[in-house]
Chains A and B, each alone.
Chain A
Amino acid sequence: MVRIAVDLNRCQGYAQCAFLAPEIFTLHGEEALLYAPEADEAQRAKLAQAAAACPVQAILVDAVDVPAEAVSDAR
């Protein structure tokens, strides 16, 4: 799984992501962006394209494999 967050302060609704990865990014109304906060590994390449194409670089995607250092009450 790949995690996704969009800095919607930056986002200006150019919708490049919605063209490149419509399964993940859609416009909701005229310019509000709705995105899936998580995507399949298979969509990683597409997601990278969408992130790269964003004119304001608002899309944040996992840069490291997290499960390795996830969480628990480990001391």
Chain B
Amino acid sequence: MLGDGSLERLKREGRIVVVGASLAGLRAAETLRAEGFEGSLTMIGDEPHEPYDRPPLSKQVLLGRAAADRTALPRLRSVDATWRLGVPATGLDMAAGRVRLADGDEVPYDRLLIATGVRARAWPREAEAELDGVFVLRTRDDSAALARRLEEGPKRVLVIGAGFTGSEIASACRERGLAVTVAERGAAPLVGALGGVVGAVAAEMQREHGVDLRCGVMVTALEGDASGRVRAAHLSDGSTVETDIVIVSLGAIRNTEWLAGSGLGAGPRGIACDAGCRAFDIRGIVTDDIYAAGDVARSPHPLFGYQFLSLEHWGNAASQARIAAHNMISESTDRIPHMEVPAFWSSQFGVNIKSVGVPSLGTEVLISQGALRDHRFIGVYGYQGRVIGAVAFDQARWLPFYQELIETTAAFPPPFPTVDRRSDGQRPVDADFPDPSVPTHGPTVTLGGYSPADRRMTFTPAH
């Protein structure tokens, strides 16, 4: 393609199709136009809504401070696209360069960006999942329906799964004065993402705010009344929780089923792509016209031994999409790699939780500032003698410092003396992540090996 004018032709009159009209899709479209793409741009989304922001859906909206249908993403520039919304993509013909849609239509492309993200994992028993009052929370419609029901003042809300979303929901419900039970299979909330030491703090926060938190239990069955409304949940410890609302927060599933049989390297772990966002085919050969970005993508990261990293993070979706868009319309020598340090936030029970790096890869944790008992601290995670991640509870301003330690692969435990001497101790302790072979809610960060379709592949920290 070098120097033969084909790139200029692509930018002038090419056809770019973006499948996935959420944060990553929109930011990619804006970048394509900002970098001079003048051809036709088609945005395909399975939901009938224009791109909207998800973080408010489990916070402001559930608190009743914003309407679920008023969280559309700000537009940073005009994208002049053809929008095909409410029509999911159902297939990909790589040889012909066409995306098949649910309405039977086919859309041809010269360059394709896949940003189909993830969806909420549904309650596994279908009949129970369909009971009135059983919810998941991922989309704008989910959030609107749940907020409406919370408005009616249910007698009790049951949240299944205490990952970030489940914990935020529990927090919002308590703030509204609703009785809340949380059932978590692991030993503590957030344990998959942050480990047991920090998870214990999250458990304390929930209980102090009046959550009936039950760890180490599973919900075995949901029970409905004669009219099909959920009325109770049965737990593995033999107890029963009477409840009007059940919110299933068991993590997410990557939207790759529509790519089955296409020949693209897509599977339950996402779409494998190179650091420049170009997707691999199932033979492990990188394509030159298909790109992936956001929650659905997984790509090798130099900070983590070039293992494939997939992230369900807002910031990653935005930045990876910009890089994918840039690379889609650049010569190979002008392409840039996606190697941002992972970062995410959550706010729950009045505490601002932020993280950089990959705490779930850590084996040890050191409380370097503040104190666990104050719910105000920094935990630094170590992996094979280096700093791999950090989490801050109400200490966000320090995080850039720890990010730099991660970026420079600084030694763990960190060599500097703690900044304040009220620390919980200078010595690292076992971060207490759950045994990966025991099922629990997973971290929103996943590292894996090579084969994108290998279902046996699991996240295995080097304990």
Contacts and interface: CB of A to CB of B under 8 A. Distances in A.
B350 A37 contact: no
B460 interface: no
A11 B60 CA distance: 17
Contacts, number: 107
B74 A5 contact: yes
A37 B51 CA distance: 13
Nearest to A7: B315
Contact of B66 (A37, A61, A70, A75): A37
Contacts of B76: 60, 63-64
The residue in A8, A61, A73 that gathers the most chain B C-beta atoms within 10 A of its C-beta is A8
B44 to A, nearest CB: 11
Contact of B394 (A30, A35, A60, A69): A30
Nearest to B398: A12
A73 B60 contact: no
Contacts of B350: 28-30, 32
Interface in A57-75: 60-64, 66, 69-75
Q: State the main secondary structure of chain A at its contact with B.
A: loop
A5 B352 contact: no
Interface in B342-367: 343-345, 347, 349-352, 354
A5 B51 CA distance: 12
What range describes how many residues of B lie at the interface?
Answer: 35 or more
A37 B70 CA distance: 7
A54 to B, nearest CB: 14
A13 B85 CA distance: 36
A36 B85 contact: no
B394 A31 contact: yes
Contacts of B83: 70-74
B214 to A, nearest CB: 25
Given A31-B352, A32-B347, A38 B315 contact: no
Interface in A1-55: 1-5, 7-9, 11-13, 28-32, 34-38
Contacts of B85: 71-73
Interface of B: 49-50, 53, 55-56, 59-60, 63, 65-66, 70-87, 314-315, 318, 343-345, 347, 349-352, 354, 376, 394, 396-397
Leading 4 A-B pairs by shortest Cβ distance: A29-B350, A32-B347, A32-B352, A3-B74
13 contacts: A3-B74, A12-B397, A31-B396, A37-B56, A37-B60, A37-B72, A61-B74, A64-B75, A64-B76, A69-B80, A70-B83, A73-B86, A75-B82
